[in-house]
Amino acid sequence: MNQDLLQQAAAGKLEETGASKKLPIANKNNGNYKVYKIPLDELYYNDLNGRIATQFKQYEAENGAITPMKNSSSYNEVFQDLVYNSDAKALDETKKSIENKSQQEPGVVLKDGRVLDGNRRFTAIRIWQQETNVQKFFEAVILDLDAQSDEKKIKELELELQLGTEAKIGYDPIDRIFDVYNTIEVKKTMTAEEYRDFAGLAKINKVNNDIEFAKLILDFIKIVSPGGNPIDKFYLARDLKLDGPIEEIGKTIADLKSKNKRAVTDAVLVNLVIAKTVNQSKAPNLQIRDVKNSILSDANNVKNYLNAYEKDDRIDDVVDYFKVNPIKSSNDLKIATESTDLKPILTTLNKSTERLVEKSKKATKRTKILTNLDKIRDNLEDIHTSNFKSLTPDEFIESKEMIVEIKKTVNKLLYELGKSGE
């Protein structure tokens, strides 16, 4: 029977480094765990790692599912490529550092060999071993935890190590959004409050916003890649770099009070297709910001926006096109939006949106003076004589002088406006 890593350590088969690592998991040594030198073939990547979850889903979508196991060289090779390609420059720097100064920070592994923390270091050492054909070791502490029965405890530790107390390399925005949603809404491993605490976040709003962003991303995926479970296609959001536009519009959509919220959401998501493909004149997040500020902020503009997008069933035509031609990558979306069936529709919608945005901006510029005067009036009305009692004598004199200056400015404006009206 094969021994797990803790059994090997107890039998003296793994060399101790003499160092220890403190973890927020109690043990007889007050959370201090011994660090061991572990042969690489005893280890395997963690398929539940939030940092590369969307990349792994993309791999499985394109190549089929693979089972995580330490004895599978093909599994480890797949994950080695995913981790390396996620940030090749940083990985090369880590490898160079380990070659020159040895591994400085111990990793964390489970007793079955699953690498919980230290995937970049593990990858760097694997590549180094492959290049030199000389056996290398991964220095790590070993936890008596099981990936299935201790899933919540492992997730808590992962968040603390990667995002919380040690605050190492953060998640890619899309991977972060996916991890929050997958952990809380899909797997229900922990609550939003628990995620906030273990990730070391100051406010629950950050977690709740990510959940809303994820829902909007899933709605987008349902439009451009219908069929199957949209959560399994979350990688499309990373491939399409949707984090900027989604974070720009997500909270506005979530807070929208319109009775046509579903229709408005679909229109905005079709607008996002346009921003990513047809309209290249401005960055997608800026185009979506224009929609948020110039259209969704005004009820009449929302009505006109919906009329333009729903005219002649244009949204339905877009949705129906993708039902027949679901995308699997950003390149697929580009090809789809160049088709003679879809491009004319998107081009027309883009022109309608640009006209609405431009009209709103002109109106805003024209009425800006009214907005500024309204704020000045409100601020002055909030000032009462009692507010002056706490001032020093010098400050009191200065405040009276300011009021006189304000009065002069107002009288001057009134005089000039009177002349212009003659």
Distance CA 261, CA 248 (A): 17
38 φ, ψ to 5°? -115, 125
259 φ, ψ to 5°? -65, -15
Beta-strand ranges (E) seen in 144-225 are none
Predicted confidence at residue 45, as pLDDT, reads: 94
Residue 186 CA, distance from chain mean position: 17
Predicted confidence at residue 164, as pLDDT, reads: 60
75 φ, ψ to 5°? -60, -50
Predicted confidence at residue 133, as pLDDT, reads: 96
Predicted confidence at residue 343, as pLDDT, reads: 93
Q: What pLDDT tens digit does each residue of the chain (422 aa) get?
A: 589 999 999 999 999 999 999 998 888 888 899 999 999 999 999 988 888 888 898 998 889 888 887 777 789 999 999 999 988 999 999 999 999 999 999 999 999 999 999 999 999 999 999 999 999 999 999 999 988 889 999 999 988 888 765 445 667 899 999 999 999 999 999 999 999 999 888 899 999 999 999 999 999 999 999 999 999 999 999 999 999 999 999 999 999 887 899 999 999 999 999 999 998 788 999 999 999 999 998 888 999 999 999 888 999 999 999 999 999 999 999 999 998 899 999 999 999 999 999 988 887 666 667 767 877 887 887 788 877 888 888 888 888 988 999 999 999 888 888 877 65
What is each CA distance from 22 to 102, 126, 142, 169, in whole angstroms?
Answer: 20, 25, 12, 19
On whether the CB atoms of residues 326 and 227 are closer than 8 A, the answer is: yes
Distance CA 409, CA 404 (A): 9
pTM: 0.80
Predicted confidence at residue 371, as pLDDT, reads: 66
Distance CA 296, CA 280 (A): 22
Predicted confidence at residue 35, as pLDDT, reads: 97
Predicted confidence at residue 385, as pLDDT, reads: 83
404 φ, ψ to 5°? -60, -40
On whether the CB atoms of residues 118 and 140 are closer than 8 A, the answer is: yes
